[in-house]
Chain A
């Protein structure tokens, strides 16, 4: 076996190693650029490896299984061998989101170079940033229920610490405490769900549990376990009635980490929900209609309340946080429409729109939060009414910001348009009521985002001294270019990237069989065609 076949585990372990190296090397040589460099290299490593993994999966066309400590132990169950150890199981959706996560953290790390400069505790900051990347990738790649919980906790603890990082502002401490308490409740729910599943089947491997659920059907305790999982995941995601922690936590973090929080960490919670629903429990075993009604209801609340609250905000980061709740409403709405009309044409279109929107939202909301970081550095305030002449003094940042804002509104050539259109179209095809909520959300988004655009040109307030440094301009421009590129290539991306991911998410037997044929499903480099 060559090193290249270990890429799934290296994607997770490389940033972890760099995170462990940061305190050691910082103790050796203080007041240096070591933390930045190590964080950059670590996130770049996992970006490269995640691209390799995704490429391999796309060319093989099946989920990949990596058995940790493979070789000897397997147990035979009904004449089928399966490994008793922890598995990494990566299908196309998790590989796709893996690239997204690694990319977002990489961009945020570049941006931090200018944003966190000369901070006394910057080594801690970069360590926590890398650890949050480790947590997210671990969740996306794992095929084991308890392992999911462990990595969820890594992600959660690093997020709590980074939200409280700027504790000179006391509201960061309050936000972190709120986030910690609610996050712990949701983790407890998920762990009780895992305990129930273990009590039923004595197994923690997702594919094995899925097979046993198919075989024996649902019992009352499994229904409760599913409810606990759903509650935990939606609480972690911050969907509307449970969104209060999100509104406080996302603006309080340092701006690059706000981008990561809003861009991907929230999506990882949604990924957990999708994975548990589709792969572990299975669409045929749960009551899709009632789950769908609940989810569509939550989405409708998100799409109406959050944008109305956003219109009243003066704080630019708080406004973007409300906008995140709105966008979550779109994503959840797509998933809910799929549950209400499972496996129909517009149902599949809806969930494709959702996953596409996950990617697009990660790009443009990341861009917007990074720009808010630039504004904080240049102007020194988060209050929209106190800024003036941004457009004249900071031309590059302004261009990127305007592209991001137009993208979130959904103007046609940009990426926000494509995914929003899919969700609007499919929800109208299902029912005019759901469609109406989505349209309402879009209209309100337009209203509050125009407020940001107008404030860029408004006089009367503090002026920025000039453009921010290159390390803060380049990532923002890069994100803006990606917005345009995804918008232009929307149809190709939808057909080549999103549709296969959804296909592999829905095809449950493929996910189960990969584990029972784990030797064939291992990442074998000879099977991968080079372009």
Chain B
């Protein structure tokens, strides 16, 4: 902690400790919301946003240095991951091509996710689509947030003498 870290965009030790304690809970909750999307309120989008908020917590509390390291490591990854979510969604929709696009083949034939309604193992292609959309939304929003964060920080740094 100290002035230097704060100037680098990070926050004080208290905030960072609390953030690192909270982080696993946020992630667990996000994943829970995604995979229980067909049973309880929530779903791919809501869970994805919760997961992306974990990324926001990291960005805000740990600041620019960590964000930049993460960014350098994964900068080629977030856009392909989001696209992968989209492809997964299209594939899930295309499973029903024997009848029509978006036909819920998995449920009507009870092949996969074909259990009793109300259990986790039900809903046909819904869990797959929830996971695909969750992946897409989480990476998408995390990517946008990281982009804004790094862009604004670099700009303010560049303007300093």
Q: Give residues in A with beta carbon < 8 Å to B.
A: 1, 3, 6, 9, 13, 16-17, 20-24, 26-27, 66-72, 85
Contact = CB atoms under 8 A, between A and B. Distances in A.
Interface stretch (B3-11, B28-36, B99-107): B99-107
Contact of A17 (B77, B87, B104, B108): B87
Nearest to A17: B90
A67 B101 CA distance: 8
A95 B97 CA distance: 22
A6 B101 contact: yes
B83 interface: yes
A66 B103 CA distance: 12
Given A27-B76, A69-B104, A72-B108, A20 B86 contact: yes
Contacts of A9: 100-101
B80 A71 contact: no
Nearest to B125: A69
B156 interface: no
Contact of A24 (B87, B99, B102, B103): B87
Contact of B80 (A24, A67, A70): A24
B96 interface: yes
- Give the dominant DSSP class at A's interface: helix
B83 A21 contact: yes
Which of A9, A13, A23 has the largest number of chain B CB atoms within 10 A? A23
A66 B100 contact: yes
A68 B101 contact: yes
A69 to B, nearest CB: 4
A6 B100 CA distance: 7
A128 B2 CA distance: 44
Contacts of A71: 99-100, 103, 108
A68 B100 contact: yes
Contacts of A6: 97, 100-101
A69 B83 contact: no
Nearest to A22: B83
Contacts of A67: 100
B47 to A, nearest CB: 21
A85 B101 CA distance: 11
A27 B97 contact: no
B98 A69 contact: no
Interface string B101-136: 111100010000000000000000000000000000
Contacts of A72: 108
Interface residues of B, number: 21
12 contacts: A1-B100, A6-B100, A9-B101, A16-B90, A17-B90, A20-B83, A22-B83, A23-B79, A23-B80, A69-B104, A70-B103, A85-B102
Contacts of B108: 71-72
B84 interface: yes
A14 B86 CA distance: 13
Given A69-B100, A72-B108, 11 more contacts: A1-B98, A1-B100, A20-B87, A27-B79, A27-B80, A68-B102, A70-B99, A70-B103, A71-B100, A71-B103, A71-B108
7 closest cross-chain pairs (CB), A and B: A69-B102, A70-B100, A20-B86, A20-B83, A23-B79, A27-B80, A24-B80
A13 B77 contact: no
Nearest to B87: A20
Given A17-B90, A27-B77, A69-B104, A1 B99 contact: yes
B109 to A, nearest CB: 12
Contacts of B101: 6, 9, 13, 68-69
Nearest to A123: B79
Given A13-B90, A69-B103, A24 B84 contact: yes
Interface in B63-105: 76-77, 79-80, 82-84, 86-87, 90, 94, 96-104
B38 to A, nearest CB: 16
Interface string B24-58: 00000000000000000000000000000000000
Nearest to B136: A20
A21 B84 CA distance: 8
A124 B108 CA distance: 39
Nearest to A66: B100
Contacts of A1: 98-100
A143 B62 CA distance: 49
A364 to B, nearest CB: 36
Contacts of A26: 80
B55 to A, nearest CB: 19
A164 to B, nearest CB: 14
A408 B6 CA distance: 62
Contacts of B77: 27
B107 to A, nearest CB: 10
A273 B108 CA distance: 39
A85 B103 CA distance: 11
Contacts of B104: 69
A93 B50 CA distance: 44
Given A27-B76, A27-B80, A72-B108, A21 B100 contact: no
B52 to A, nearest CB: 18
A92 B103 CA distance: 27
Contacts of B102: 68-69, 85
Nearest to A8: B101
B81 to A, nearest CB: 9
Nearest to B89: A20
B85 to A, nearest CB: 9
B78 to A, nearest CB: 9
Nearest to A3: B97
A14 to B, nearest CB: 10
Nearest to A25: B80
A69 B96 contact: yes
Contacts of A68: 100-102
A26 B75 CA distance: 13
Nearest to B86: A20
A482 to B, nearest CB: 33
